[in-house]
Structure 1
Amino acid sequence: MLSSPGGRPPTRGTVGELGEFGLIRELTSRITATPAVRLGPGDDAAVVAAPDRRVVASTDLLLEGRHFRRDWSTAYDVGRKAAAQNLADIAAMGAAPTALLLGLVVPAELPATWPAELMDGLCDECHVAGAAVVGGDVVRGDTITVAITALGDLHGRDPVTRSGARPGDLVAVTGWLGWSAAGYAILRRGLRSPRAFVEAHRRPEPPYHAGPAGAALGATAMTDVSDGLVADLGHIAEASKVRIDLCTAALDVPAQMNDIGQAVGVDPLQWVLTGGEDHAIVATFPPGRKLPARWRVVGEVLHPAALPRVTVNGAPWEAADGWDHFRGDA
């Protein structure tokens, strides 16, 4: 964890004591650039190279008490997670992440270390994805809110959308499924282990490389698993006007996840099928396409039929299909 990179002394006082421009100076001092950044923070806007002449853009919000809790996650964790879930959206279009913008709402009494460590997390996750924080805005408010805009470049490729799946295509996944949901279940019970699952919830690790790699492999449709495998494949099925059937025998349920499920009274397959926030990449590929070992074939695309558009082992999935901000619990 890089709470004070480069040996920088820890930030002191509160956000209110730093003031708006002091806070901005503190945050921007932690930013490093990449070759794509032609002009970073300090002007009216940043300038980011877009060799493709098209910019892929995505935005997201994290609200304290809804998307994170400070007693569960450090500010650094929140920064890593906020960046990851947005940069994964860029990768899921087949693009390479290039830049990230931060909008931050914080109370004046918040210790200044919190936004400073948040920025460290954002910058470190951007480094993993090959991107950079290029600017943003801060404002005073009662509830900590982190608003992210992520940008990416297609490098001459066509974007891979949700609407290209065709009957006969394979459905394949790369990355973790259900780990974040299992970690959330652990935290809700006041526990902190097994640590690997808790950390998966606090700091997801999207396979950023898989987005552009999937595009190069001929993916016909693609998305990241943010709301749950069934729900996110439902978006592909709806946009493509097809049905998708998943095979549970092809899904990976680690032994330790089984143990956690038994301990908390949950079928771990439910986490794998409907747990979000792992930000694995799921894509459809033409039939017969040979895929690298890191891609696991978990289903097939079928001709459209009556709803539901996604089935599991040929039958409707009766449990909730994934996360809905206006339906799920905080």
Structure 2
Amino acid sequence: MTLTVDQLSESELLARIFPRLPAGTSTLLGPGDDAAIISAPDGRTVISIDTQVQDKDFRLAWPNGYATTGFDVGWKAAAQNLSDINAMGAVATAMVVSLTLPGTTPVGWVEGLADGLGAAIAALGAESCSVAGGDLSGGSEIVVTVAVTGSLEGREPLLRSGAQPGDIIAVCGNLGFSAAGWALQESSIGAGSQTTALQKAARLFNRPEPPLEAGPAAAAAGATAMMDISDGLLRDAARLAAASGTRLDLNGVVLGREAEKLSECGRLLGLDPLQWVLTGGEDHGLLSTFPANAVLPCGFIGIGSVLSAGGGRPAVSIDGRNFKSVVDGAVGWDHFAV
């Protein structure tokens, strides 16, 4: 018989969760009191928060038969928050987690979520980050909210507003793989029929791999602006351009090479992989700009140039071609449009 959340007290459930969570060096006082205490040797604290909602951000059961595990949701909750801190050029120091759970949720699923949080923190290279506490509540659907703090370690933060005309536009991390994985899980292609390429796409959708070493490396290399690619390259590029008061012109040849990495997935799913590269979200790579004479850090590839704004031109173009939908904001992920 499956043990469910409503068969345990809150204290009993917490006793199953906390031993599974990592305790990093920055936590001076962890779970057990009314609040945690986190060290802030830099004198500044970077903070971000993200929420995953059942049937909005993930499904427990997908059309192709895949069942989302607690481990998947825990991993993604850690990854998306760690990526936001990374995009500021900072290093994550601590997380707090809020869980809303239906009473029928299996306890094993919740334990898996805790395991996924810890596994992502370790595997992605955020060993200094601890899970310092959190909150439990009951509800009609699963909701996972994670707030994460970070340290700039004496560096200046990398903002979206720093791009200058003449800068190189560069990205680091995956482009389009998460969107391909989403398309797979919305399809009828079950696990028994998946190729290696499709399996990789599904893995990166359920357990994204943000390049956490790249944020501080970009800061050290003189990056002028940076942000996490969470809602699609075009949508996020338009945001960076607007914040900087510039235009971004992307290189279609380079983007085509990125799409080529997903060509097998596109063929099997009957979809255009370039659309995944341009508009697919949740890969959690980095979109950055660097001075024209900068040496790009390891893992970054140049994908275009920053131009002066004005002349009625859109915020983002590809090889000089206008994309009206970018101006209208009609591309990429939007929580209130799906």
Alignment TM-score, normalising by the size of structure 1 = 0.93
- Residue 136 of structure 1 is matched in structure 2 by 134
Answering whether residue 158 of structure 2 is matched by residue 160 of structure 1, we say yes
- In structure 2, C-alpha distance between the alignment counterparts of 1:40 and 1:180, rounded to whole Å: 33
* AA in 1 matched with 2:268: A
Does the 8 Å contact 1:126/1:133 carry over to 2? no
Stretch deviating more after TM superposition (117-126 or 260-269): 260-269
- Residue 121 of structure 1 is matched in structure 2 by 116
- Residue 6 of structure 1 is matched in structure 2 by none
SS at 1:139 equivalent: strand
Picking from 170, 176, 183, the partner of 2:168 is: 170
- In structure 1, C-alpha distance between the alignment counterparts of 2:188 and 2:69, rounded to whole Å: 16
- Residue 333 of structure 2 is matched in structure 1 by 323
RMSD: 1.5
1:290-330 residue CA offsets vs partner (Å, 9 max, x unmatched): 11341100011000022520111111235642111111x3x
CA deviation after TM superposition for structure 1 residue 54, in Å: 0.6
- Residue 221 of structure 1 is matched in structure 2 by 225
- In structure 2, C-alpha distance between the alignment counterparts of 1:307 and 1:292, rounded to whole Å: 31
- Residue 179 of structure 1 is matched in structure 2 by 177
Structure 2 residue runs without a partner (length 5+) = none
- Residue 32 of structure 2 is matched in structure 1 by 42
- In structure 2, C-alpha distance between the alignment counterparts of 1:258 and 1:184, rounded to whole Å: 16
* AA in 2 matched with 1:308: P
- Residue 246 of structure 1 is matched in structure 2 by 250
- In structure 2, C-alpha distance between the alignment counterparts of 1:88 and 1:240, rounded to whole Å: 21
1:50-94 residue CA offsets vs partner (Å, 9 max, x unmatched): 110111000011000111112232110110001100110000000
CA deviation after TM superposition for structure 1 residue 258, in Å: 1.2
* AA in 2 matched with 1:228: G
1:186-230 residue CA offsets vs partner (Å, 9 max, x unmatched): 111132432001101000000011111111111110001100011
Does the 8 Å contact 2:228/2:285 carry over to 1? yes
- In structure 2, C-alpha distance between the alignment counterparts of 1:307 and 1:325, rounded to whole Å: 27
SS at 2:98 equivalent: strand
Does the 8 Å contact 2:249/2:316 carry over to 1? yes
- Residue 309 of structure 2 is matched in structure 1 by 304
* AA in 2 matched with 1:51: P
Does the 8 Å contact 2:221/2:297 carry over to 1? no
> Residues 12, 36 of structure 1: CA spacing in aligned structure 2 closer, same or farther, 3 A cutoff?
farther
- Residue 3 of structure 1 is matched in structure 2 by none
Alignment TM-score, normalising by the size of structure 2 = 0.91
- In structure 2, C-alpha distance between the alignment counterparts of 1:142 and 1:282, rounded to whole Å: 37
Identity %, equivalent residues: 45
Does the 8 Å contact 2:208/2:283 carry over to 1? yes
- Residue 286 of structure 2 is matched in structure 1 by 281
* AA in 2 matched with 1:216: A
- Residue 67 of structure 1 is matched in structure 2 by 57
SS at 2:258 equivalent: coil
CA deviation after TM superposition for structure 1 residue 264, in Å: 2.7
- In structure 1, C-alpha distance between the alignment counterparts of 2:85 and 2:188, rounded to whole Å: 34
> Residues 88, 20 of structure 1: CA spacing in aligned structure 2 closer, same or farther, 3 A cutoff?
same
- In structure 1, C-alpha distance between the alignment counterparts of 2:75 and 2:173, rounded to whole Å: 17
- In structure 2, C-alpha distance between the alignment counterparts of 1:303 and 1:255, rounded to whole Å: 30
- In structure 2, C-alpha distance between the alignment counterparts of 1:53 and 1:269, rounded to whole Å: 43
Picking from 251, 257, 260, the partner of 2:262 is: 257
* AA in 1 matched with 2:56: R
Picking from 313, 317, 320, the partner of 2:319 is: 313
- Residue 237 of structure 1 is matched in structure 2 by 241
